[in-house]
Structure 1
Amino acid sequence: MHQDTTAEGPATARGAVAIIANRRGELLLHLRDDVPGIAWPGHWSVLGGGCDPGEDPRQAIVRELDEEAGLAVDDLTELFEIRDEHGSGQLVTFFAASWDGDETALPLAEGVELQFLAPEDLEFRTIPPFIRDGINRYLATRPA
């Protein structure tokens, strides 16, 4: 299912992100640094990143959650893939998980802030189009 990440070019670049919800139905979003040279600077996104060479998306998201926020979740479910057409060009695998901790207590290693947000508050945030699409797809299939 996954392409070889060792080939050159954005067509084969892979990434992984996690939509993490708490029991109130809020989603954990990450305000990215506003610095040149990163994809989607200053945007709200979900946690995740690129796959290292030889790493599959599930391994990548487990690593990224730990590296970016010291977060470990037990119930990662693979959802779907979306290409970041207007940013990195990566084919990004979306995962879902639940977590009910205090996001302000997480050791944020990248970015500006982590915050649980209600789905209705997302329309007022600057979110990369492929992430917004993924969140909307997730919300459309989530039980009420």
Structure 2
Amino acid sequence: MMDNSQPVEVAIAILYSSDRFLMQLRDNIPGIFYPGHWGFFGGHLDPGETPEAAVKRELWEEISYTPPWVSKFGCYSDAKVIRHVFHAPLTVEVEQLVLKEGWDMGLLTPEQIKAGHCYSQKADQVRPIGTPHQQILLEFIDQGIWTMASAARQK
């Protein structure tokens, strides 16, 4: 039986391509965190697994993608969850990814992220961005990390 008094640990990824960010539209299933909301790809750490290993495993399991590298952005905690946040470039076209978990995926613009919602063609609806995901991504955008990483790779 799971101890509900302890927060769960997850590893999640901010994946970026140019000036857009890949996000997952989570399944609209009651009982999961942020059902029907846009969020990051990633998931729970397995026992004894490092956050970095978990985020790489989850990206492969959820979209069949292995980034060239991942870098830690930060750790965000509340009473229910500890989020280990990584960032990495998306080096393939979205059409090359295989969505194995979630309702939809898409590249969201900073404007959509600031607005807090985005249209999903598969859902045929405008769906909200999960509040913690939006806050983390806005902080990431404000710091300009992805633009520095992109510029360094192009040299």
Q: TM-score range by the shorter chain?
A: 0.7 to 0.9
**Residue 11 of structure 2: SS of its match in structure 1?**
strand
CA contact (8 A) 1:26 1:117 kept: yes
In structure 2, distance between residues paired with 1:124 and 1:12: 26
CA contact (8 A) 1:17 1:48 kept: yes
Give the number of the structure whose residues are more often strand, by fraction.
Answer: 2
Percent of aligned pairs sharing the same letter = 28
Alignment of 1:25-104 (within 5 A): 25-85=19-79, 89-104=80-95
CA contact (8 A) 2:116 2:134 kept: no
Q: Is residue 18 from structure 1 mapped to residue 13 from structure 2 by the alignment?
A: yes
Give the number of the structure whose residues are more often helix, by fraction.
Answer: 2
Alpha-carbon RMSD: 1.8
Aligned-partner residue type, residue 114 of structure 1: M
How many angstroms does 1:133 deviate by? 1.4
Provide Cα deviations, 1:65-93, integer angstroms capped at 9, x if missing partner: 000000100121101111255xxx11011
How many residue pairs get aligned? The number is 134
The structure with more radius of gyration? 2
How many angstroms does 1:9 deviate by? 4.0
* CA distance 1:131–1:124, change in 2 (3 Å): closer
In structure 2, distance between residues paired with 1:83 and 1:90: 6
Structure possessing the higher relative contact order (Cα contacts under 8 Å, 6 or more residues apart): 1
Tell me the TM-score normalised to structure 2 length: 0.79
* CA distance 1:98–1:14, change in 2 (3 Å): same
How many angstroms does 1:12 deviate by? 4.5
Q: Is residue 110 from structure 1 mapped to residue 112 from structure 2 by the alignment?
A: no
Alignment of 1:2-17 (within 5 A): 8-17=3-12
Tell me the TM-score normalised to structure 1 length: 0.85
In structure 2, distance between residues paired with 1:32 and 1:65: 14
In structure 1, distance between residues paired with 2:4 and 2:48: 15
**Residue 120 of structure 1: SS of its match in structure 2?**
helix
Aligned-partner residue type, residue 34 of structure 1: N
